[in-house]
Amino acid sequence: MHEQPDAADLLETARALLLAELLPALPASHAFAARMIANAMAIAARAARDATAWPAPPDAALIRAGAYDPGTPQHDEIAARLLAMARARCAVSNPRALRDD
């Protein structure tokens, strides 16, 4: 097995150092790049910690064909599954998007 600390820990620790020590010392012209790097490390760390048990995604072709339109038997279940998957994806890509929930 891999040596500890694990991937998520390393990414989080490296990101904290980047933000605390490097970003303030950088010229303004490089601040955007540093923030992008910090964001990428945060996403990667959350992905490394993510243990979502993904359900089977609803069939895109059936959605397109109208098989789950409002009023059909599976509509509510498919809508709920899509929402749950989008929330789980936001939890990795951008948790701030979940603040309105």
Name the site residues for other proteins (rule: CB under 8 A): 33, 36-37, 39-40, 43, 57-61, 63-64, 66, 69-70, 79, 82-83, 85-87, 89-90, 92-94, 97-98
CB of 74 to other proteins, least distance (A): 13
Compare residues 10 and 85 and give the one whose CB is closer to other proteins. 85
Compare residues 9 and 59 and give the one whose CB is closer to other proteins. 59
Compare residues 17 and 33 and give the one whose CB is closer to other proteins. 33
CB of 53 to other proteins, least distance (A): 17
Tokens of 10: 């390393």
DSSP notation for the chain: -PPSS-HHHHHHHHHHHIIIIIHHHS-GGGHHHHHHHHHHHHHHHHHHH----PPPPPPHHHHHHTTT-TTSTTHHHHHHHHHHHHHHHHHHH-GGGGTT-
Q: Check: CB of residue 37 under 8 Å from CB of residue 18.
A: yes
CB of 29 to other proteins, least distance (A): 10
CB of 42 to other proteins, least distance (A): 10
